Structure 1
Amino acid sequence: MTNCTQPGLNLTELIKSTTQLNKDGLTIGLVSIDGLIQELNLHPYAVAYPSDLNDETQTQLLNQCDGNPAEYFVSALAKQLIQAAKLAGEQPLRVRLSGADSHQRQTLLGAELEASEVNPLIGLRGVSRFADKSIRKSFELECEAIKRARNAEGMTNIELVIPFVRTFSEAATIIDLLAEQGLCRGAHGLKVHLMAELPANALLADKFLQYFDGLVIDIDQLAQFSLGLDQTHPSLDYLHDDQNEAVLLLVRQALKAAATTGKGCAVVSHYIEKAPKLQSWLLDHDVDTVITQ
């Protein structure tokens, strides 16, 4: 990565693969469960419900997973999380639960089990997906991997980041769902953070923070939803602007809420090195570390 950052601004890394974990001088800012799942090339629904697959895909899945897809999936994720947690040492390791839209997961083995959506960007993802009883087992396996890494291996520095929380009701729901899976907020020091990626998260951050221990502000996602963009639509790339006044207003609101409530706040931007004005703006607002990739 070419370092084009201004003095005083530090970059940490968004981890999406085990390859990244082997880099020298790595400073982990956030681990993406979505990225680790992509690396496994296994759709969570296929792992959770292998009998729903056609015979050919089911055979391929069983061969790849040594006959036990659920255990293979959980063990692989747990192993990656343990490695990351050890690298983080005494520092917290923020782990973002799966929040990718259905379009991003369509190349995974067994993706045919996930319904096709007209607009996956604002479709079934994040908490709405976790809460869906018809596919709940895929969420449970994800939780089992986190629990196994955090409890069985003693990696209590692992903290959770929840993506795509649309409403306060969803905020309450995810805290309850996690508790049902043995991941109780506050138990054994477990912290649960909100991935602030929707305008509602930023505008009402003070109220959302009643349910969470902190924020992880995704500036790119805020820009996408504030400006009505789709990052998979290349002809609209020229409109993406993390330095847009509306976007910065949302970021400022979220930062203010975190400061007022005394809760932690991290910032994510994949375009930070190409946005000198944003770098200056963040430094002016007492943000000296940005998670990027």
Structure 2
Amino acid sequence: EGKLKYRIEEIEVSKLPRPDTKIMMNFGIPDGAFIQSQIPNDGVGLAREEFIINSYIGIHPMALIEYAELKKAARTDEKLAKVIEEIDKRSASYEDKREFFIDTLAMGIAKIAAGFYPNEVIVRFSDFRTNEYANLVGGYRYEPEERNPMIGWRGASRYYDAKFKPAFGLECQAIKKVRDVMGLTNVKVMVPFCRTPEEGRKVIKAMAEFGLEQGENELEVYVMCEIPSNVILAEEFASVFDGFSIGSNDLTQLTLGLDRDSELVAHIFDERNEAVKRLVKQVIDIAHRHKPRRKVGICGQAPSDFPEFADYLVECGIDSISLNPDVILSTRLNIAAVEDRIKSRSKRKGT
């Protein structure tokens, strides 16, 4: 009584098939990198900066950049005085508070990159929404209130905006430190929520201003494919970026015109919807036809939740699938079987 039924499945790692499709990992908290990397994988398809910023920094980057001014103002502002007290507590060993952000973010990224080295680790620049940034220490001073932050001031649109650009500079300096100082050149970067090719060019330019040059030391810059415009203008985006990573959650939400956080319409949300699947196939086809050929991966939740969706991606010729660690092995076996079926079918057609 009280005991739960369970079963144990043992898989001999040395006998695992290695599919042509890269099986990568979604990753957040750096501390588990060296353990999780023991799971057979082809690298990290999505390393989220937000986890590092939330867990190890916790302070709005602009509050660190403007620390000296805020400290003066705090003499007559009780709320701000508490912000300064918290900043001092978290960054006690740093006179220059900007260095606290750069070093802490760099160390977090470096742990992940070292754990999975030499496989590539794709680090997505911060993708907090305004309400999430506002929850960081001092964030209330810098973030507007938006009715729908999900489609508001987030991702690429922040990076070149004068109100946030200095903060983006700290992220770029952290990446540069990981690659150029620590030598972890397996780190690539990814730009989220980029609405237009012109916006992409502005981000690439801003990166260069902070010393992070696309192509320098083989630095590749990917773009999240999570807005219908990323698919409709895929040819133009492919001329700006080195590859695409499909974010199936936002792509589904924006294709079907629904708020996935709303209980009233949540039942309609389904990455397997035919409209979403057609967009996925379309961007893969366009990216692969582009000269030079662009890689396409996926880092959304769908392949983890729905094995049949992973099958569809392989049929479409996707280059990589990035998954949650708990489904890496089962998906790898499934993908290998799908590829075998495709190869057998091709042989039969050829005879």
Partner of 1:187: 216
> 1:46 offset after TM fit, Å?
2.3
Alpha-carbon displacement from aligned partner over 1:95-119 (angstroms, at most 9, x marks no partner): 1101221123343222212121121
Compared CA separation, residues 14 and 42, structure 1 to 2 (3 A): farther
Deviation of the 1:11 alpha carbon: 4.7
Q: Give the structure with the higher percent helix.
A: 2
Say which is worse superposed, 229-238 or 202-211, in terms of deviation: 229-238
Seen in structure 2, the aligned counterparts of structure 1 residues 188 and 22 have a Cα distance that, compared at 3 Å, is closer
Q: Distance in 2 between matches of 1:271 and 1:216?
A: 13
Q: Is the 8 A contact 2:284 2:318 kept in 1?
A: no
TM-score (norm 2): 0.77
Q: State the match for 2:120 in structure 1.
A: 92
Q: Is the CA contact 2:28–2:48 (under 8 Å) kept in the aligned structure 1? A: yes
* 1:157 aligns to 2:186 (yes or no): yes
Deviation at residue 185 of structure 1 after TM alignment: 0.8
Superposed counterparts of 1:32-71, under 5 Å: 32-40=48-56, 41-50=58-67, 51-52=69-70, 54-66=80-92, 67=94, 68-71=96-99
The aligned residue for residue 129 of structure 2 is: 101
Match of 1:112 in 2: 140
Distance 1:290 1:111 in 2: 35
Q: Give CA deviations for 1:5-31 in whole Å, capped at 9, x if unaligned.
A: xx9677532111123324342442221
CA distance in 2, matches of 1:277, 1:214: 24
- Match of 1:30, SS state, is strand
Alignment deviations for residues 229-276 of structure 1 (CA, whole Å, 9 cap, x no partner): 223334432221000111111111110122112111111221323323
Tell me the CA shift for residue 168 of structure 1: 1.7
Using the TM superposition, give the Cα deviation of residue 186 of structure 1 relative to its aligned residue in structure 2, in angstroms. Answer: 0.9
The equivalent position to 1:277 in structure 2, one of 300, 305, 308, is 308
Q: Which runs of 5+ in 2 are unaligned?
A: 1-7, 10-16, 75-79, 325-351
Shift of residue 189 of structure 1?
Answer: 0.8
User: How far does residue 148 in structure 1 lie from its aligned partner after superposition?
Assistant: 0.8
Secondary structure in structure 2 of the residue aligned to 1:31: strand
Instruction: Tell me the amino acid that sits aligned with residue 205 of structure 2.
Output: D
TM-score computed with the length of structure 1 as normaliser: 0.91
Aligned residue for 1:133, secondary structure, equals coil
Query: Could you say which residue in structure 2 is the equivalent of 1:290?
Result: 321
Cα distance in 2 for partners of 1:240, 1:10 equals 27
Which position in structure 2 is the counterpart of 1:17?
29
What CA distance in whole angstroms lies between the structure 1 residues aligned with 2:135 and 2:323?
24
Equivalent in the alignment of 1:221: 250
CA RMSD of aligned residues (A): 2.2
Q: Which residue number in structure 1 is paired with residue 338 of structure 2?
A: none
Q: Is the 8 A contact 2:296 2:319 kept in 1?
A: no
Cα distance in 2 for residues equivalent to 1:101 and 1:82: 25
Q: Distance in 2 between matches of 1:14 and 1:257?
A: 25
Structure 1 residue runs of 5 or longer lacking an equivalent are: none
Structure 2 residue 151 is matched with structure 1 residue 139: no
Shift of the 235–49 alpha-carbon distance from structure 1 to 2, 3 Å rule, reads farther
Kept after mapping to 1: 8 A contact 2:28/2:52: yes
- Whichever of the two has the greater Rg, that structure is 2
Extract structure 1 runs of 4+ deviating beyond 6 A.
none
Q: Does the Cα contact within 8 Å between 2:114 and 2:184 map onto a contact in 1?
A: yes
Instruction: Give, as a single letter, the amino acid of the residue that structure 2 aligns with 1:287.
Output: I
One-letter identity of the residue aligned with 2:49: I
Residues 220, 268 of structure 1: 8 Å contact kept: no
Q: 1 CA distance for matches of 2:110 and 2:140?
A: 30
Distance 1:160 1:126, change over 3 A: same
Q: CA deviation at 1:288?
A: 6.7
Larger deviation, residues 24-33 vs 240-249: 24-33
CA displacement 1:181-201 (0-9 Å, x = unmatched): 111111111111111111100
The code of the aligned residue for 2:229 comes to A
